[in-house]
Amino acid sequence: MEHGYPKRVTLKSGKTVTLRPPADGDEPALVTFFSRLPPEDTQFLQDDVREPDIARRFVRERDPKHLFALLAVGEDGQ
């Protein structure tokens, strides 16, 4: 996979997560995650990732040469 990912890490809280680039099927979780953030935390994003079509494009059309994104996914898949 890209740049040595996926990679399992343990957070300070003791929770284990897997760091990995976005993959097909991540769109609904991204929309949910960004929808729960307060507006002031998303105001500087170029695109509104709370929109399903934007999240889909973010996952499927990303170009790692210009934007390297990672997701932290818990053992529960969230």
Q: Per-residue pLDDT tens for 33-76?
A: 888 989 899 888 888 878 888 888 878 877 777 777 889 999 88
Confidence check: pLDDT of 18 > 80: yes
Helix (H) / strand (E) element for 42: namely helix 39-42
Q: What is the model's pLDDT at position 2?
A: 56
Give the residue, 15 or 61, on which the prediction is more confident. 15
Question: What tokens appear for 49 in the block?
Answer: 């990732």
Q: Whole-model pTM?
A: 0.75
Question: How far apart (Å, rounded) are the C-alpha atoms in residues 52 and 32?
Answer: 10
Instruction: Look up tokens 């990303």; give the residue.
Output: 62
- pLDDT for the residue 68: 78
Cα(60)–Cα(76) distance, rounded to whole angstroms?
Answer: 23
